[in-house]
Structure 1
Amino acid sequence: MAKVLLAVHVLAAILVVGPVAVATSLFPRAVSSGGGRVTGEATGQQVETAGLLHRICRGYAAVGVVVPVFGIATGAQLGVLGDPWLLVSLLLTVAAGALLGVRILPAQRGLLGAAGERASTAVAARVRTLVLATGVFNLLWAVVVVLMIVRPGSTTGA
């Protein structure tokens, strides 16, 4: 049973977290037309692309709950639920989810709402803030992946 749970967990992580990581990274460029100029100066296609990327982020974020659920189930089956590497991974996963839900998705929605605005310093600053939040989001996932592979202190680790 542990192998089935682990397979579902890994597949869900690849198929759910991967697209969100890519879409969050592509969104700032799609909503900008270079130099931080926001969609008021971007083409209609850029606005459509940014809207699609936002919908991908929103949709996959909702489905993304399956990743930690199957991760916890796998950890319980393997008897490693109390291991520090797993607890840190869970905390980082919660932090990444919170960052996505509280900062990234609202920022994307706000920038899409600014589609008719002229480029401004304030909007450019919002794009830069989104880029930073997206970088932290992806870094959190990278650390979780490393912890899942290395599993420091785990008796099941490499």
Structure 2
Amino acid sequence: MTKFLLTLHVLAAIVAVGPVTAAASMFPPAARTAQDGRLGTVRLLHRICRVYSRVGLAVPLLGFATAAAMGVLGDAWLIASMTLTAVAAGILVAFVLPRQDEILERLAAEEAVDRSGTVQLAMFTGIFNLLWATVTVLMIVRPGSTTGA
């Protein structure tokens, strides 16, 4: 059962978190270059972020189930990973998605998009991506791992 849960957890992370990190990273430059009401790419990137962030809820749920099955819920590396995951989710929900909404609304109203707004969005997106990369490293290296890595 543990291998099955771990497989689902890893697949969910790849399928859900990967598209969010890629689309969120592509959004600021796409928003800067969107002109003349051509918002298809920007809307698509925003939709990917919204939809896959909801699908991404499966990642920590499956991770928690996997950790419980493995008996490692109290391990420091897992607690750190869960904390970083919560912070990453908070940044996505509180800073990245709302700023994407604002920028998309401005573009749809054919208003100028302030460059500082897209730069700030890129910063929050970078922090989100860095947190996920750190969680990934913790999941692979796991201090005290029995895999010998």
Tell me how large the CA RMSD over aligned residues is. Answer: 1.3
Structure 2: 5+ residue stretches without partners: none
From 83, 99, 108, the equivalent of 1:107 is: 99
Q: What letter corresponds to residue 31 of structure 2 in structure 1?
A: V
Percentage of identical aligned residues: 52
The aligned counterpart of 1:68 is 60
Structure 1 residue runs of 4 or more that deviate by more than 3 Å after TM superposition: 154-157
Partner Cα distance (1:43, 1:7) in 2 = 45
Partner Cα distance (1:43, 1:103) in 2 = 27
Partner Cα distance (1:79, 1:22) in 2 = 33
CA separation of 1:111 and 1:157: change in aligned 2, threshold 3 A: farther
Q: Once structures 1 and 2 are overlaid, which stretch shifts more, 6-15 or 147-156?
A: 147-156
Structure 1: 5+ residue stretches without partners: 34-38
If the length of structure 2 is used for normalisation, what is the TM-score? 0.94
Report the alpha carbon displacement of residue 136 of structure 1 after superposing the two structures with TM: 0.3
The aligned counterpart of 1:28 is 28
If the length of structure 1 is used for normalisation, what is the TM-score? 0.89
Q: What letter corresponds to residue 152 of structure 1 in structure 2?
A: P
Partner Cα distance (2:111, 2:58) in 1 = 38
Indicate if the aligned counterparts of 1:17 and 1:64 stay in contact, CA closer than 8 A.
yes
The yes-or-no answer on 1:151 pairing with 2:142 is yes
